[in-house]
Chains A and B, each alone.
Chain A
Amino acid sequence: MRIWLWRLGLLLIALTLWEAVARMLNPILYVGPSQLPGALARVLATRDLPPLPGHAWLTVSEIAAAYVLAVAGGLWVGFLLGLRQTVGRIYEPLLATLYAVPSVVWYPSLMLFFGLGPASKIAFGFFLGFFPVTLAVLAGIRQVPATLVTVAVSMGAKPWTIFRKVMLPAMASTMVGGLRTGLALSVVGVLVGELLGARAGLGYVINYAYGLMMTAEYAALVVLVAAAVLLLDGAGALIEARVKQWAG
Chain B
Amino acid sequence: MGGLKIAACQALSVAAILIAWEAAVRWGLLDPVFVPAPSSILQVLGVTGAEALPRLGETLLKTLLGYALAILAGVPAGLVLGSRPTAHAIAMPYVVALYGVPKILVLPWIALIFGIGLSTAVLSAAVFALFPVVVLVAAGTRDVDPALVTVATSMGASRAQIIRKVLLPTVLPSVLTAMRVAMVFALLGALIAEMLAGNRGMGFQMQRAALAFRAPELFAATAIVSVVSISVVLFLEHLNARLGRWR
Partner of B9, one of A90, A101, A196, A206: A90
Q: Which residues of B contact A94 (CB under 8 A)?
A: 10, 13-14
Within 8 A of B (CB), among A219-247: 219, 222, 225-226, 229-230, 233
Give the shortest distance, in Å, between B9 (CB) and chain A (any CB): 5
Query: A192 to B206, alpha carbons, bound, how many Å?
Result: 15
Interface SS, A side? helix
Query: A103 to B187, alpha carbons, bound, how many Å?
Result: 10
Asked if B188 and A102 make an inter-chain contact with CB atoms under 8 angstroms apart, the answer reads yes
Q: How many residues of B contact A (CB 8 A)?
A: 51
Q: Which residues of A contact B10 (CB under 8 A)?
A: 90-91, 93-94
Give the shortest distance, in Å, between A121 (CB) and chain B (any CB): 13
Query: A219 to B113, alpha carbons, bound, how many Å?
Result: 13
Give the shortest distance, in Å, between B68 (CB) and chain A (any CB): 18
Partner of A108, one of B9, B89, B222: B222
Binds B, one of A3-11, A35-43, A44-52, A135-143: A3-11
Query: A97 to B210, alpha carbons, bound, how many Å?
Result: 24
Interface string of B175-217 (1 = CB under 8 A from A): 0000000001101100110011000000100110111010100
Partner of B188, one of A6, A104, A191, A226: A104
Query: A215 to B105, alpha carbons, bound, how many Å?
Result: 13
Asked if B13 and A90 make an inter-chain contact with CB atoms under 8 angstroms apart, the answer reads yes
Asked if B112 and A105 make an inter-chain contact with CB atoms under 8 angstroms apart, the answer reads no
Q: Is B131 an interface residue (CB 8 A)?
A: no
Asked if A207 and B222 make an inter-chain contact with CB atoms under 8 angstroms apart, the answer reads no
Q: Which residues of B contact A197 (CB under 8 A)?
A: 211
Residue of B nearest to A108 (CB): B210
Give the shortest distance, in Å, between B135 (CB) and chain A (any CB): 13
Q: Which residues of A contact B225 (CB under 8 A)?
A: 101-102, 105
Binds B, one of A72-80, A109-117, A162-170: A109-117
Q: Decide: A222 near B104, CB < 8 A? Known: A102-B184, A109-B219, A112-B213.
A: no
Asked if B100 and A230 make an inter-chain contact with CB atoms under 8 angstroms apart, the answer reads yes
Query: A93 to B6, alpha carbons, bound, how many Å?
Result: 10
Q: Which residues of B contact A109 (CB under 8 A)?
A: 210, 215, 218-219, 222
Asked if B229 and A108 make an inter-chain contact with CB atoms under 8 angstroms apart, the answer reads no
Partner of B218, one of A97, A112, A213, A233: A112
Binds A, one of B90-98, B152-160, B163-171: B90-98
Q: How many residues of A contact B (CB 8 A)?
A: 47
Q: Which residues of A contact B91 (CB under 8 A)?
A: 10
Asked if B187 and A102 make an inter-chain contact with CB atoms under 8 angstroms apart, the answer reads yes
The CB with the most chain A CB atoms within 10 A, among B13, B86, B185, B207, is that of B207
Q: Is A106 an interface residue (CB 8 A)?
A: yes
Query: A86 to B86, alpha carbons, bound, how many Å?
Result: 48
Asked if A7 and B105 make an inter-chain contact with CB atoms under 8 angstroms apart, the answer reads no
Q: Which residues of A contact B105 (CB under 8 A)?
A: 191, 195, 206, 222, 225-226
Q: Which residues of B contact A219 (CB under 8 A)?
A: 109
Query: A218 to B104, alpha carbons, bound, how many Å?
Result: 13
Q: Which residues of A contact B97 (CB under 8 A)?
A: 230
Give the shortest distance, in Å, between A90 (CB) and chain B (any CB): 5
Asked if B102 and A108 make an inter-chain contact with CB atoms under 8 angstroms apart, the answer reads no
Q: Is A188 an interface residue (CB 8 A)?
A: yes
Query: A105 to B109, alpha carbons, bound, how many Å?
Result: 22
Asked if B195 and A184 make an inter-chain contact with CB atoms under 8 angstroms apart, the answer reads no
| 28 A-B pairs (CB sep. < 8 Å) | A6-B90, A29-B112, A90-B6, A93-B10, A94-B14, A100-B234, A102-B185, A102-B188, A102-B225, A104-B195, A105-B206, A107-B195, A108-B222, A109-B215, A112-B215, A188-B102, A191-B105, A192-B192, A195-B104, A196-B207, A197-B211, A206-B105, A213-B112, A218-B109, A225-B102, A226-B105, A229-B100, A229-B102
